[in-house]
Each structure stands twice: as structure tokens, then as C-alpha cells.
A and B are shown apart, each in its own frame.
Chain A
Amino acid sequence: MSPAPVSTSIIICTWSLVALVRVLIAFQPHSGQDNHHGLHAAYGGDFEVQRHWMELTFHLPIGEWYYDDPTYFGLDYPPLTAYVSYVCGYFSDKLVGSYSVAWMESRGLEDPRHKALMRATVLLLDLLVFGSAVWCMTRPQESLRRDYDSLATFVLVMIQPAILLIDHGHFQYNTFALGLCLWAFHFMSKPGHCNCLIGSIFYCLALSFKQMTLYFAPAVFFYLLGRCCAEKGRYFTLRFVSLGITVVATISVMFLPVVLNGPDETTYLERLTQVMRRIFPLHRGLFESKVSNTWCVLSLKPFRIRQQIPEHLQPMAALFVTILLTMPCSVSMFRLGSRGCMAGNQERQRTIFSWGMTSSALAFFLASFQVHEKSILLALAPACLLAAQDYKFVEWFSIVATWSLWPLLQIDRLQTAYFCTMVIYLALLHLRKASLELPQRDEGSLFSHKVLFSWLSNASYAVMITLHLLEATITVPSNLPDLFSVLWSLVGCGCFGVAWLYTCWRLAHGERKEKLN
């Protein structure tokens, strides 16, 4: 029996509800709202960062964008961010009023109308780029009609609490970058070399929007390399060169305006280095604040890795460990690519592909240089596409990821939003689980079969809840002010380590199955 198709009105309803949840979260305070920290000048918060970039790009000529005062949130994202900021700044100027982006005057601006517009830009870009990508990727491969099953997956991906809280609560444009990545993955996992080219254009756009999308780079690179070698490497040169040209061309188109324009006395190379220095701030240290990755954990008392490795070697060490951790997924992605993409087993291939991307992003999150806690979203986005294949892992991973953001959300006063979105997500998950008659797609999931992993996930839930309760009831001793953020990063790091191992296992498992076929 073919699954029942979904009527148009239900589809409209679903999209509206997905937007509604975002709108509800957007009512919450953004990072740094009400000048929360009392520092009017450069108070912390990505909201002011993004607003300032609108002001900056709107008023300064393109050549000065990357030369502006770095002490007040200098532009340190790649050029596409700047272009998008320019467009948003233009609309802010026209719709809200020129005061919202007035040069120097508008710093620290807090105005409900302006906030509404900023929130609306995130919502629009989110739905247009991320929403559409998820919509395409969750559609059943065979049929064009959408069934309730895939609609449920779509909703669960779109209601990821971590992504919602960061983009619509804290305020960032992550979904734009993630959406571009997902579009790239969508095309890359389709048969035909042309799709690979389109996919790589999208990926380059994502890279020139947010350098953090480099987390997928090894997996993407080895996958595409594999695709070039497919069919026993018959068209290797042609494919490789065309991919290379596409990548270089896209990146150049994005970077050329900021390289061609600049202060008079500088050369093109100097300008490019200036942009790169801004984008990759190697001077900012191994990690920022407390983040659930290896370096943060290893810098604790017994290890004190920050003191033991000389500072100039730290980036190298981070790079080395990261490469080590990305090895499994690189190998597996290369093999996946070199098997070629057939129309018949696309669904399974896409599954393995998503596992590979998750694994790569997790490896970077655990071991790379200058990691933010928000970067876990990069691993979360491809992972939650697997909800139909392994919902237990996805459920666990999304909860852990959201939980690991708690210290940040506390600073932003998003505690209420955190609990509410969690409840909404869990309720939807429960409905989804209750509606699945047979967990047939679940075969091969460690979490449902192997006692160890099931036990592990339950234990981690218990630990997470306990930590929440402890934090609410205990006053921290004065000599350990960071106690809870450290505990948070410890537990988070442990969980993400397990998640990384699990992705590696899924990749190996997938390989074995392919071989059996």
C-alpha cells in the first residue's frame, strides 16, 4: 500500500507551525538585550555584532570593510556574510528608519521595531534556505507526493531546539550557512557529475558565508574525490579539473570584491591576508569560554594542556588531532564516492553520506582550534536528517546538543525558552514515536539493540537532569566559580565523544552492508 499523500492545506499548516515556533522563540530576549551586562559600549552579544555589521557594510565602501576598527566587533566572517549584512542593512534603513543603522550613532541600539525586523530577517532566511533544503532532503526519493512520514521527519528537523534557540533566541544566521550546506549535500548525493558541480557551488557559498562550515571540508573533499574516481577512474581528470575550476571560480567571485577594493597603498595579496587574518583568528587561543570539546577538558587541573604545549604549536596540535579524528569518515566518504551513485540505492547512500558529515563535524568540534559551543549545530544539522533511520540516536544527540548550550543560554536569559522548546520537541518526538507502528527502519541501531548504548544514553539523561537540579539548588563555592560550566563541558565532551564513536561505527556498519550487497 502506498502511503497516504498529504493535502496542500496540511502542508501550509505545517510550514506555518514551523514558522510559528520560530516566531514564539523570537519574542525572547536576544543576546545582550537590555544592555544586560551594563556595558553600553561593546556589550557582548551576537545581536549587536550582526547589527553592527549591517551598519558597517551599509556605510563604509567595500574596501574598508575588513579594515575597520577591530575593537568594536570588526567584521570577521567571510564576504558573503558581509553582502547579506549589506542587504539586511538596506532593508533596515528603508523599513525601520535610518536611525537603526546610523553610523556610530546606532551602537547598542535597542528598539522593538528594529528587533522585529532583525528577527524577521533570520526567520525569512531560515525558512527560505534551511527550510527548503530540509524539505527537499526529507522527501521520499521515489515519489513526488509527500507522505505523513516524511512530513513528520521534516517537522522534527525544523524544531531542533538547539538550532532554534541559537538562531532565533540568541541571534545568529547559522541556518543560512547550514541550509547552504544541506543544499550542497542534497545535490552531491544525487547521481551525475553535474549535480556534484552544483553541490560544490553551494558548499563554496556556505564556506564564504561562515568559515565554520569548513568542519565538513574533509568529508566533502574525499567524497568528491571518490566521485571523480568512480567507474574505475575513467573520467578522473575531466571531473577533477571541472570541480577544481568550479570551486576556485565560486570562491573567487565571492572574495574578489573585497580583494579588488581596499586602501590605496595595499596590494591584493595584503588585502587577502587581512581578510584571512580576520576570518581565522589564530591569536584568539585554543578555545573560547567553556566549550564541550577535548581541549577544554584537557586544560583542566591534572592535564593543563594549555600550559604544556607552547602557544605557537597549539594550532598545529589541534590540526593534527582533528585530521586524526576525521580519518574514519574521510576514508568512508572516499569509498562511498568511488562506488558511484546509482539511482537504485540512493536512500541508503544518502544515509551514509549524512553519517559521514556528522562524523566530520563532530571530529572538528572535539579537536579543532577556537571552537565555539554553537558550532555543535554543524554536527546537528546533518545528524537530524537521519531521524527516519535512527531516531533514537537523533533524539539523544539533539537533547545533548541543546543541553550543552545551557551555560550560553543562561547568559542570554533564555532559560524559559530552553525549557519550553525542549518540552515542545520532546512532545513532538513522543507523538512521532507513538505514531510509528513498527520500528522497521530501526534495524541496526545500536541504541535500540545493544544494551550498552541504550544504558549509556539513559545514564547521560540522568546525569543531565541531575546537573540541572544541582545547579538550581546548590550555591557554588566561591573558590570554584566555574564549577558548573566545567561540569557541563565535561559531560558534554563525553557525550560528543560517544556520538563521534557511534558515527564511526555507523559508517563501518554501512560499509559492511554495502559489501554484503
Chain B
Amino acid sequence: MTFAVSNKSLLICTFLIATSSKILLFPSYYSTDFLVHRHWKAVTKHLPMSEWYFDDVYVSTKHTLDYPPGFAFLESAFANNYVTRTLLQRFILDETCLELLNDNELKDSISNRCVAFMRSTVIVGDLVLWLGAGTMAVAVESSEASMSMPGFLFTVLNPGLIWLDHVHFQYNGLLLGVLFLSVACLLQANKLELRCGKPTAASDIYQLVGAALFAILLTLKHLYLTLALWYFAYLLRRFCFVQNKFSIERLLLLGVGTLHCLMTPFLPLLMTSPQPTLLVKQIASRLFPFGRGLVHDYWAGNVWAVYKAIDKVFAKLFQASLPDVSPFIVGMIMLLFLMIGAKAAWMAAAQRDNHLLLLSLAYSAMVSFLTAYHVHEKAIMTTLVLLTFLAALDKQYTLLLWESTAWGLLGLFPLLFEPREFLLKLTSYMAYMAALYAFVGRTSNTEKAWVGVSLVGVFAVIVMLEGLPISFWGRMEFAPLAVTSLACAAGLIQCFARLTTNMLIYCSVHDVVANATATSIKDFSIAVKPDEIDDVDYIPPVRVVKDNDDDQYAYLLSTKEMQQIAELIIPKGITYCPWRRLYRLSRDGDSFAAFMECVKGQSRTLIVIRTTKGSLLGAFADAEWQNAPQFVGGPSACLYKMYDGTVIPYKWSGVNRFVQLCDANNQRIAFGGGSDDLGQTAFGLVIERHFQIGTTGHCVTFNNEPLCDETIFAIEDLEVFGFLVGTF
């Protein structure tokens, strides 16, 4: 962005604008969920704890308490606090607002002030979302004390959350905030351990807090149980194994801590109840109402919507119907898919890999939306916000995020069905999708075409759903809703397939590489021999994605040289990826800022340099280029030079971790450093003064010869390639 606004003032202003907008939404439509939450506040205000789950004994209502006790305590906190009491005492808020009422009395009892009060509690609850998203945004950044602004803003300003919480009325922001806090703790634990090089007490505490927060989340809303398997697998591997050995003590510690958090909200209820067993049964029947059917009233866009639709078509055409699906079968199918996520979580835990952590978590969330029993369309939000942070962590997922968001949010359209909300939905949807597209950045022509197809689909659905009057459909009046949910299902399943492929490839690749390198990360003194990892299996021919101006600027390397680099330097896991030229000195200009802009979000880059004397040399970097005061980078980084058309690679020696440095203040990047046995220090390769001058020397990090004849050389041209992970 060209606006040089500090993050702090941007945050404050965004907060003010967002909150003002939410207040402006006070008079908008609210659903029965509003009445539900009002009733729960009344229940927790007026009934003793043991009676909370028997509220229908006292009043005739269908808005009975059907969330776990933790949420009941939250409602109780909203209903019984100093501010609320003061509002009631001073008659700013009318008594009836928090009174136990029968359903038939509700119609005339809801005053504007009551609505304002209830909506304010949601705004207060959103503070947790902002806090959680903030910690998440810090946790996904590799450097300390910086924050992923796109990830943060695209989460807190997600129109889906605004529609759900501030129009439809729910507390999703608050719940997601708790989930974020929990995940952020897990991410931080990994960051901490990687930075210190060994497990520390602090990272253990982070994990315990993460587990506890997830337990608290479960007591707030049991819908998140679908993520429990992921959490179990992850924490079992991450926390209960020390140096690949299982430790029963740590499992006990984890189990006791988590169960404690899980049980705490139940205890007061059970202790005060005269018949605890009855209460347990009652709570269970409220929390898991299996009598409700496979799909929700509006079909949420998941596989069961498709199943139902096929069923309907079958019934029409052949007078036959597909077999009924029982909750048990649904559960088994879901479990099967969740197991894959759990496997990935296990790997992420073993490798301390935050990327895979978020990837598998987003996958699990998506599985639970797509395959669970009686899903609400709102459940997609968990997936979308997790994908947002995944995209913030690695930009290759932005397009996937864009498409899932396009379909996921479209699926929420029928939720706000009144005409006055139509323009709200349309404008906020357009604004968000356009901004998200700007975040996606440069796209290839195929990707553009794909986005175009999605746009046409979304447009068609909106016209069907909102543009045509209901009389147009005649006897097919269910058609707009059915088409919406089927289109969303198709879009989301397609995204899910891509997400799954990405995850499986990521897993299979890292299985090989990481097994060999994980040990080396823990112990610097052991030098790995990266060659052993790499020279197995077949290396596919290098493919370079065509940009429009490729004819004008030929590549510095010949195809043969590229192939050699692919064989000798590129980590095996990404040799199948097409290359794309991100930056070319003579094309994009000799500006450091331009370089930074072009390589932003690329976790692996290949640099090719031609000196004015005609030598070819370069480096492969396996960490993103971000301005940081210290060295970053991992074991697959490499320097190389061309000698008579042959690549001579200098791989990481494992002696130190001075792999790559990005010093934007002095406009230079550097590879390799540290002093050798003789006490001499030199960089392996430095490129400075806006890519005009380079220096090279012997460094211990890569144990390399100087990469060309001159120690200081002038750069004639420079190219940077990125790798399109997840594309074939």
C-alpha cells in the first residue's frame, strides 16, 4: 500500500469505524436467535443454576437453553453485572427485556432499547474476536513483534461475521475469538521452540493454555467438538512426546488440565441440583438433539445437500429414493475424513510446523462443515477465518481463500431474507471480495479465468435468489434456495478437494525431507548431508509459467541449466511445482522495494545472477524475504555457481544457521556468514545497493568457494523465481 499509516492508528481507526457500523446496524432485522439469547439471559438471571436446563417448566417457550453450561454462565455474566443492573435501576433498560416470558408474550415486549442492549453485548463480545485475531495475526508472522495486517483485517471485518452476529444475532465472534486464542498459543509454542532450538517450559505452558482454551470453547459451544480429534492428535504428539518418546506423566498433566477446564462449568450446576443424574440426561438431550434430520431448514451447502437433491431427482424420475442416512453413518464418514486431518496434525506436531498446523486445522473445520449432521450454513465461518490466517501465513492459499469465501458467504445470503438487508449483503459482499482479490495479487491467466467462472456463478445465484420475484418460480418456489445451496456446495466441495490435495502433497513431501532434517534442527553440531535426501526418485522436467512479457526478457538460465538446478538444488518436495519468474531486474527496475513487493509471500525463491563479466551464480532461499534484523532460513537453502554449463551447488553445512538475511534498511540481502576456524568472517553472497553490486566469499554456513572470480562484482541482471505449490 502506498499509505504509510502506522499499524496502531490503522487499528484504532478500523476499530472505531467497524464499531460505528455495527451500531448503525441496531435497527436491522433480527432472527429468532435474538429471542433465544434474550431468553437465556432471562433464564440465567431469574432461575437458580440447577433449573437452567428445565426452563420450559417455568415458561412455555421453544427457545430453550441448548448450549453447554459455559455459555449459560456467559449469558449470566451479561445479565448480572454492574452495568446491566445500573441500566435497569435507572430505567434506561426496561425490566421486560430480561424477564422470563412466554413465547406468545414476546411480540410486543421487545423494545428498541432492549435490542440496543442485546446488540451491545455482541459488540462487547467482539472484543474477544479482536483480541484473538490480533494474537493470531502475530503468531502467523515469522518475525517477532510484527503482525499480519491482512490476516487480521480480513478476519475482523469479515462480512459473514457481521451479518451473523450483528444482524441475524449470534455470538460467533466471541467463540471464534476463543478458538483463535487457543490456536495462537499452539503456534506461539512452535515459534518459541524453533527460536530457542530446544523445548522450553514457556512453550509447554503455551500448549497447556491452548488446550485449556479449547476446553473452555467446548463448554461454550459443543459444535467445536468436531475439532476435538484434531486437537487430541496434535497435542498427543506435540505435548506428550519428549524427543520422540512417549511420556505418560505429560499425558496425565494434559488430560487433567483439560478435563478440569471442561468440567468446571458443569460442577456448580450438578452440585446445586437435587437430582444430578436427571440433570445430566437433560443436558445431554438438549445438547445433542438427533431428532432434527440430516439437513437444516435451508440446506447448508454441504455434501448432504447434494445427496438430498439427488434423492429428490431420483424420486421424481424413478420413483425410487436413496437410502436414508443415519446419524451413525454420517458420524463414521466424518470421522474417516477427520482422521486424515488428525494424521496431518500429528505430523505438524512432530515437525513443529505451523504451516501444516493451520492447514490441517482448516481442513478439519471444512470437513466438519461439509459432512456433519444437521449443519447450519453459519458453520462455514470457522473454516473461512482459519483459511484467512492460512493465507496470511502463506500467500499461495489466497486464491483458495477467495473462492471459499465467495461461495461460503454466498451461502449465508438466504439467512437475511428481508428486502431491506439485500443492499447490505450485496455491498459488503462486493467490498470484501474485491478487497480480498486485491490481496490475492498477481494471478495467472488460468487463475483469472477460474475466478471469472466463480464470479459468473455467484452473480447468477444472486440474481436467482434476490433478483427475481417469488411468483416467477410458480410451483418451484423452493428453487432459489435449493440452487443457492447446491451451487455453494459445489463451490465449497471443489475448494475442499484442492485444500485436501494441497495438504496431502505437503504431508508426503515433508515426510521425507523433515524426517531427515528434524533432528538436525534440534542439534546444530550434527551436520546433515542433504545430498542423501535429495538424490532419490525421478525429477520431472522443469516447467516455467509463462508471463506475457517472457519473450521480451529471456531467462538467464537455459532449460538444461534449469533442469540441473531442479535436480541438485531444489528440495525434492517442490520439484513438481512449476516455476514462475517473480522479479527481473531489467524488467521490474533496480529498486529494492520493487523486489520486496514481487517476492512477498513466497516462502521459497531461487535467485539467478549474471555478472557484467558473464558469470552465472545464485542462491536458493527457503524462507520468505522479510525485513528482519537477524538471519533466518532453513536446511534446504543453497548457494550455487555455473561452471562450464554445470551447476556446482554448495549446500548448507549445518555448522551455523546464518542462512539468509534481508536487511531492507540497507537495501541488501545476504547468504551465509559466521566465522570459520581461522576466525575469518565473510558472507557467502551479498547483493546490495539496489542490486547493482554483489560480493562473494568463503563462508562456513555453506562451506563454499567464492561464487565467481571477482570478490566484488557488478550485477548485469538478476532473476527471482518462485514455486507454485499446489499447482500441476
* A-B complex is real: yes
Residues on A facing B (Cβ under 8 Å)? 3-4, 7, 9-10, 12-13, 16-17, 19-21, 23-29, 112-113, 115-117, 119-120, 123, 147-148, 152, 416-417, 419-421, 423-424, 426-428, 430-431, 434-435, 437
Hey, which chain B residues are within 8 Å of A431, CB to CB?
3, 5, 9-10, 13
Does B431 make an interface contact (CB < 8 A)?
Answer: yes
In angstroms, Cα B23 to Cα A421, docked, is 10
Interface size class of chain B, counting residues whose CB lies under 8 Å from the partner chain: 35 or more
Q: Is the CB of A9 within 8 A of B434?
A: yes
Also in contact, A13 and B438, with CB within 8 A (given A27-B24, A434-B6): yes
Which of B3, B434, B435 touches A435 (beta carbons < 8 Å)?
B3
User: B9 touching A434 by the CB < 8 A rule?
Assistant: yes
Q: Is B26 an interface residue (CB 8 A)?
A: yes
A424 touching B16, Cβ below 8 Å = yes
Tell me, rounded to whole Å, the shortest Cβ–Cβ distance linking B633 to chain A. Answer: 31
Q: Which of B10, B12, B20, B423 contacts A420 (CB 8 A)?
A: B20
Chain B interface residues toward A at CB < 8 A = 1-6, 9-10, 12-14, 16-17, 20-21, 23-28, 418-420, 422-424, 427-428, 430-431, 434-435, 437-438
Partner of B24 from the list A28, A115, A119, A120 (CB cut-off 8 Å) is A28
One of A7, A20, A152, A417 near B427 (C-beta < 8 A): A20
Please tell me if the beta carbons of B13 and A27 are within 8 angstroms of each other in the complex: no
Also in contact, A13 and B431, with CB within 8 A (given A20-B424, A23-B424, A427-B17): yes
Compute the total of residue contacts between A and B using a CB distance below 8 Å: 116
The docked-state distance in angstroms from the alpha carbon of A427 to that of B21 is 12
Say yes or no: B438 contacts A9, CB within 8 Å: yes
List 7 A-B residue pairs with CB atoms under 8 Å apart, sorted by A's residue number: A13-B431, A16-B434, A123-B423, A423-B17, A431-B9, A431-B13, A434-B5
A430 close to B428 (CB less than 8 A): no
With both beta carbons as reference points, the residue of chain A lying nearest to B12 in the complex is identified as: A427
Q: Bound complex: CA of A434 vs CA of B5, how far in Å?
A: 6
Cα of A426 to Cα of B12 in the assembled complex, Å? 12
Give A160 Cβ to nearest chain B Cβ, in Å. 15
Which of B1, B10, B25 lies in contact with A27, CB distance below 8 A? B25
Query: Once the chains are docked, how many angstroms separate the CA of A19 from the CA of B424?
Result: 9
Find the A residue at minimum CB distance from B430.
A16
Whether A25 touches B24, Cβ cut-off 8 Å, given contacts A13-B435, A116-B420, is yes
Contact of A112 among B4, B9, B420, B431 (CB under 8 A): B420
| A459 → B minimal CB distance (Å) | 25
Q: Which residues of A contact B13 (CB under 8 A)?
A: 427-428, 430-431
A153 → chain B closest CB, angstroms: 13
Instruction: Kindly state the separation between the CA atoms of A24 and B25 in the bound complex, as whole angstroms.
Output: 6
Q: How far is the CB of A126 from chain B (nearest CB, A)?
A: 12
Contact A120 B431 (CB under 8 A): no
Give chain A residues whose Cβ lies under 8 Å from the Cβ of B437.
9
Q: Is the CB of A112 within 8 A of B2?
A: no
Please measure, in the bound complex, the distance between the C-alpha atom of A210 and the C-alpha atom of B420, giving whole angstroms. Answer: 28
Closest to A13 in B: B434
Chain B residue numbers with a CB within 8 Å of A426 are 16
Question: Is the CB–CB distance between B17 and A435 below 8 Å?
Answer: no
Q: State whether A435 touches B438 (Cβ < 8 A).
A: no
Q: How far is the CA of A9 from the CA of B440 in the complex (A)?
A: 10
Q: Are the C-beta atoms of A20 and B20 separated by less than 8 Å?
A: no
Q: Is the CB of B438 within 8 A of A7?
A: yes
Also in contact, A9 and B25, with CB within 8 A (given A20-B424, A24-B424, A431-B3):
no
Extra contacts, 7 of them, besides A26-B423, A416-B23 (Cβ < 8 A), are A10-B435, A10-B438, A23-B423, A28-B24, A29-B27, A116-B423, A434-B4
Docked Cα-Cα span, A24 to B10, in Å, equals 22
Q: Which of A13, A17, A423 sits near B16, CB closer than 8 Å? A: A423
* Chain A residues, CB < 8 A from B27: 27-29
Q: Which residue of B lies closest to A123 (CB)?
A: B423
CA distance A262 to B10 in the complex (A): 60
- Measured between beta carbons, the chain A residues less than 8 angstroms from B431 are 12-13, 16-17, 20
**Complex contacts, A17 vs chain B, CB 8 Å:** 427, 431
- Contacts A16-B427, A416-B23, A421-B20 given; indicate if A113 touches B419 (C-beta within 8 A): yes
Q: How far is the CB of A168 from chain B (nearest CB, A)?
A: 11
Q: Which of B3, B23, B26, B419 is the one whose CB lies under 8 Å from A116? A: B419
Contact partners of B418 in chain A: CB under 8 A:
112, 116
A189 to B9, CA, bound (A): 38
Report the Cα distance A120→B434, complex, angstroms. 22
* Chain A residues in 8 Å Cβ range of B12: 427
CB-based contact B5/A435 at 8 Å: yes
* Chain B residue, CB-CB nearest to A421: B20
Contacts A10-B438, A112-B420 given; does A424 touch B28 at CB 8 Å: no
Contacts of B435 in A (CB 8 A): 9-10, 13
Nearest residue (CB) in B for A10 is B438
- Roughly how many angstroms separate A24 CA and B20 CA in the complex, as a whole number? 10
Residues of B near A10 (CB, < 8 A) are 434-435, 438
> How far in angstroms is the closest Cβ of chain B from A157?
17
The 5 closest A-B pairs by CB, nearest first: A16-B431, A13-B434, A420-B20, A435-B3, A427-B13
- CB of A273, distance to nearest CB on chain B (Å): 42
CA distance A27 to B21 in the complex (A): 11
Q: How far is the CB of A89 from chain B (nearest CB, A)?
A: 18
A116 near B438: Cβ-Cβ < 8 Å: no
Q: Tell me if A437 and B20 are in contact (CB < 8 A).
A: no
Determine how close the nearest CB of chain B comes to the CB of A417; give it in whole angstroms.
6
Contacts of A427 in B (CB 8 A): 12-14, 16-17, 20
CA distance A120 to B5 in the complex (A): 35
Give A117 to B420 CA distance when docked, in angstroms: 8
Cβ–Cβ contact A148 & B17, under 8 A: no
B25: min CB distance to chain A, Å: 6
- Give min CB distance, B306 to chain A, whole Å: 31
